[in-house]
Amino acid sequence: MSSPKEMTRAVIVGHKSILKETIDALHDSNLFHIEDFVEDESGFKIDKPFENAADVSKKLVKIRSISSFLGVDKKEPVIQKSDAVLQDLDSKLDELDRSISAKTAAIAKLETDLKDLESQKKDLLPFMSINLDFDYYRGYKNLKVFAGSIKSNLDESQLSSLTQTYELFYDPQAKTIALFVTNTEADKVYEFLQGLGFRELRVPNRGGVPSELLKVIEEKEIEINGKIESLKAEIDSMNTKYADFILASDEILSIESQKAEMPLRIATSANTFIIDGWAPSESYDSLVNTLNDATGGRAYISKLEIKEEEKEKVPVEYNNSKTVVPMQEIMDLYSRPKYTELDPSAIIFITLPLMYGLILGDMGYALILGSLALLIKKAIKAEAAQRLANILLYCQISTAIFGLIYGEFLGFPLAGFHGEPGLIPGWETRTLFSGLGGEEVTFPIHRSHMIMTMIAATVIVGLFHLALGFILGFININKQHGFKHALLEKGSWLIIEVSAIVAIIGYLIQNSIITNIGLIALVIGVLMLTKGEGIQGPIELPALMGNALSYARIIAVGLSSIYIAGTVNDIAFNMMWEDHSQIGLVAIAAILVFLLGHGLNSLLSIIAPGLHALRLQYVEFFGKFYEGGGKKYNPFGYIRKYTEE
């Protein structure tokens, strides 16, 4: 259990002549969280960005558009000297820009050519089967040419009854015709053709036989496609060649741009500047030293006392050991703790895997999902993935432990039970004592045979979890508003919870003294609560019972996982042993059912227990003490990956 890192409020004041040095030093130290200055009546103004800002952002935009065009991915960093990159940044950027524009322009031109050829081809196609040189369609004095398509079938005898002097080329499949008649009979024939639904086609303006023209066009198309492919390959090769440069210069330019735009965030007068912000108390001295070194002691930095009402806006940085760090993801998903409250990361580091393990509790799934977590850890280096994989791993360790306690492996019992042998020979279930509703509490715990006892047990786990929540709430309020408030607001709940349990125990063992003590304490608790939270407090009393019963989901979700696993096992093994004559094929199907079934259940085993365990933290547990809403500590600086000074 820990609080967020202690912060110190600091103000840096200096003459504008050292603004650049100050900003450089702050950026390099990556420690100072800057409070953005909002212009008010004080007479201070925000400053203009540095002169190079426009230039830097122009280059940054260029490099990012190139990067997205080339599809440069983040990859294993090759660290480069930032001076070296900066030196030939301009020339390289220009070169890159020029060659990419040239190549894209060339590709665009080739693509237009391709479209052009495509439309020429379209014009040719109707004339393919007639295959007459296009020069024959024109240039006659006494002949009229009808070239086009018709809708209904052409009967040549009808045509010959109209005229004797004609030459017909007809493709009955495509219904294209080329009909040559004398001018004198043209009108008559045209009328006849109109009756057939004649539509004139444009005869291409060039000479040549369609089939040969088509061959030429297709050859050209292949050639152009080849050129486009090679240009695209060249662009791809630029990706591999320039990726390091692009990533490094993106980083350098981002840093430059952050620095150049910094004056927009601070208060300045004609000759001075004021930078207001926060630094972790532990690093305050080193920040002062860095600043003094950079400016020769000319920047004046001083601590300010944090006023009570300012505590709300103190930026929050977690302060956890390395093992607990992954849990911060879970915290951020809900809400970052406020500066004034406890950071429960270390507690959910224990309770989240505990609840998950209580729900899943199966050695087999722990092995499968544990290996999956290790695999993700190895394969994906991104920080977020690493953290999630770690959380999954923590959960699986707990699942393996409870798998041993429950004696389960992929839904099979590990220990023998009621004469049925278990997976581990010689491990027999032992009855320890009798539980609720005539059930027997055994080791290992066979959950599906002692449901009532498990419901009671999980609710008891819940009561402990809730009590822990009330205790944390007590500590929080004690820190923020003092002991009296803490006792009335949170202590009262704790008293109510404990006294209710005492009263119930007294009732169960039929000891009226214990029952009465419990009831009296309960009344006192309710009175304290009413004083602490007003009438709202007692109204929320039934929610406590709801919260406690909500923990019954631990056994409920767990049982559903067991039943799915058990059903898969039953189906697979029944198939295996049903028909011995066809053992080959059925056995393969049975193995498939087994693998697919358990694969599906493994996936469900991340989602269902994960969500329910998470919900028990977020709703039941956090509801008792946690507020959240802290501001993220985001220091002015940059974590370099691809470059170094």
Partner 1 sequence: MVGEELIAGPVLDAAGMKALSAALAITVTGLASAWAEKEIGTAAIGAMAENEGLFGKGLILTVIPETIVIFGLVVALLINQ
The footprint of partner 1 on residues 428-467 (CB under 8 A) is 437, 451-452, 455
Question: By CB under 8 A, which span of 88-96, 388-396, 546-554, 566-574 interacts with partner 1?
Answer: 546-554
Strand partners, 278: 9, 33
Q: State which of residues 380, 505, 549, 592 lies at the interface with partner 1 (CB under 8 A).
A: 549
Number of chain residues interacting with partner 1 (CB under 8 A):
19
- Give whichever of 421 and 546 is closer to partner 1, judged by the CB atom: 546
Minimum CB distance to partner 1, residue 455 (Å): 6
- Give whichever of 550 and 643 is closer to partner 1, judged by the CB atom: 550
Q: State which of residues 483, 546, 588, 595 lies at the interface with partner 1 (CB under 8 A).
A: 546
**73 neighbors 238 (Cβ within 8 angstroms):** no
371's tokens: 């290996």
Q: What is the separation, in whole angstroms, between the first and last Cα of the chain?
A: 38
- Give whichever of 407 and 462 is closer to partner 1, judged by the CB atom: 462
Q: How far apart are CA 103 and CA 122, in angstroms?
A: 29
Binding mask 331-370 for partner 1 (x = CB under 8 A): -xxxx-----------------------------------
Question: By CB under 8 A, which span of 86-94, 121-129, 328-336, 366-374 interacts with partner 1?
Answer: 328-336
Q: Any idea what DSSP says for residue 436?
A: G
- Give whichever of 130 and 552 is closer to partner 1, judged by the CB atom: 552
At residue 149, the 3 state secondary structure works out as: strand
**492 neighbors 456 (Cβ within 8 angstroms):** no
252 phi/psi in degrees, rounded to 5: -60, -45
- Give whichever of 250 and 620 is closer to partner 1, judged by the CB atom: 620
379's tokens: 């394969």
The footprint of partner 1 on residues 76-115 (CB under 8 A) is none
**283 neighbors 31 (Cβ within 8 angstroms):** yes
- Give whichever of 105 and 619 is closer to partner 1, judged by the CB atom: 619
Question: By CB under 8 A, which span of 197-205, 266-274, 326-334, 509-517 interacts with partner 1?
Answer: 326-334
- Give whichever of 123 and 439 is closer to partner 1, judged by the CB atom: 439
Minimum CB distance to partner 1, residue 534 (Å): 24
Q: How far apart are CA 569 and CA 598, in angstroms?
A: 9
Q: How far apart are CA 31 and CA 281, in angstroms?
A: 10
- Give whichever of 233 and 611 is closer to partner 1, judged by the CB atom: 611
DSSP H stretches of helix in 534-629? 536-539, 541-550, 553-578, 583-615
- Give whichever of 31 and 352 is closer to partner 1, judged by the CB atom: 352
Binding mask 595-624 for partner 1 (x = CB under 8 A): ----------------x--xx--xx-----
**457 neighbors 446 (Cβ within 8 angstroms):** no
Minimum CB distance to partner 1, residue 234 (Å): 39
Q: How far apart are CA 337 and CA 627, in angstroms?
A: 7
Q: How far apart are CA 41 and CA 58, in angstroms?
A: 34
Q: State which of residues 550, 561, 601, 643 lies at the interface with partner 1 (CB under 8 A).
A: 550
The vertex-190 CA angle with 187 and 196, nearest 5°, equals 155
Minimum CB distance to partner 1, residue 73 (Å): 23
Minimum CB distance to partner 1, residue 452 (Å): 6
Amino acid at residue number 197 = G
327's tokens: 């849990």
Strand partners, 8: 279
Give contact residues for partner 1 (rule: CB under 8 A). 332-335, 437, 451-452, 455, 546, 549-550, 552-553, 556, 611, 614-615, 618-619
